[in-house]
Amino acid sequence: MRSARVLIADDNSDIRKFLNVALTQEGHQVIEAKNGLEALSKFKESEPELVILDISMGRPDGIEVCRRIREKSEVPIIILTDRGADLDEVMCLAIGADDFITKPCASQVLNLRVGIQLRRTKDRKGKQERFLKIAGLELDVSSRELRFNNQAVPLTRTEFEFVNLLMLNPDRVYTREEIYEAIGGSSEFSSDKLLDTHASRIRIKIRDAGGPNTLIAVRGIGYRITAK
C-alpha cells in the first residue's frame, strides 16, 4: 500500500493517538485535528490525500466538515462513528462520504479500508476519459457527471463508482463482491443493507431527473443496469 498524507479529526485524544500510530506504522504521514474548525483549517493547509472524521466532534461536527470538504474536493473521506445506527450509515452516504467505520475498530480493519480508498483513487486517475451511454443516461467519466436528457443527476463519489461499473457492461449482472470492490468497500466489513441503500438512492436520483428505472437488483447475486 502506498503512503499518503492522512488528516484525522477527532476530539478524543486517545482515538487520535490510536489512529496516528496505526497509520504511521503503515508509512502514512498523519495530520491531526482535535475539532471541526481545526480540521477545515488543516485540510486547506496540508491538502491531504485522505480524510478520517469523527461523526460526533464538537461543532462543526464530522457531518458538517464532510459537507464543506466535499463542496471543494473529491478527496476520499472515511467517517468514524461509535453508534452503529442505520441513520449514521444513510447520513454518511448522503453527505458524500466514501466509507464509514464503527468504533472501536482494529488497526488491521482501519488500514484495510484506508488502503482500499487510496487504491481506488489511483485506479480512477488512470482511467481514460470517455462517455458511457445507456437508456438516455450519459455518464461523463472525466467530469464524473451523470445526465438524463441533459438533466443533471447528482451523484456522490460512491454512487458514481457504482453507476460507472454497471454502465461499462450493460445487462451484465455484477455480484455484490464486485460492486463492493468498485465502490471502495469490502464485502467482509460491509452490509447488504448499505449496498442496497446506495442502489436505492441512485434510483431515486435518476427518477427525479425524469429517467427510467434501469438499475435492477438480481436476487441473491447483485445488480445490473439495462437499456430495456
Residue 22: the pLDDT is: 95
pTM of the complete model:
0.60
The partner residues of 218 in beta bridges, in order of sequence, read 222
Residue 1: the pLDDT is: 54
Residue 88: the pLDDT is: 61
For the chain, give percent helix, strand, coil, nearest 5.
45, 20, 35
Structure confidence by residue, pLDDT tens digits, 200-224: 999 999 999 999 999 999 988 999 9
How many angstroms from the chain centroid is the CA of residue 14? 26
Distance CA 37, CA 23 (A): 22
Kindly state the cell numbers that stand for 142: 472525466
CA atoms within 13 A on the CB side of 64: 12
Residue 180: the pLDDT is: 84
Residue 39: the pLDDT is: 95
Structure confidence by residue, pLDDT tens digits, 159-205: 998 999 899 888 888 888 888 878 876 544 456 778 888 999 999 99
Low-confidence ranges of the chain (pLDDT < 50): 128-129, 187-189
φ, ψ for residue 153 (rounded to 5)?
-120, 100
Question: Which domains does the chain carry?
Answer: 5-125 (3.40.50.2300), 128-225 (1.10.10.10)
Residue 181: the pLDDT is: 79
Q: Identify the three-state secondary structure at position 120.
A: helix
Distance CA 98, CA 77 (A): 5
The helix-helix angle for 192-208 and 86-94 (nearest 10°) equals 40
Residue 28: the pLDDT is: 94
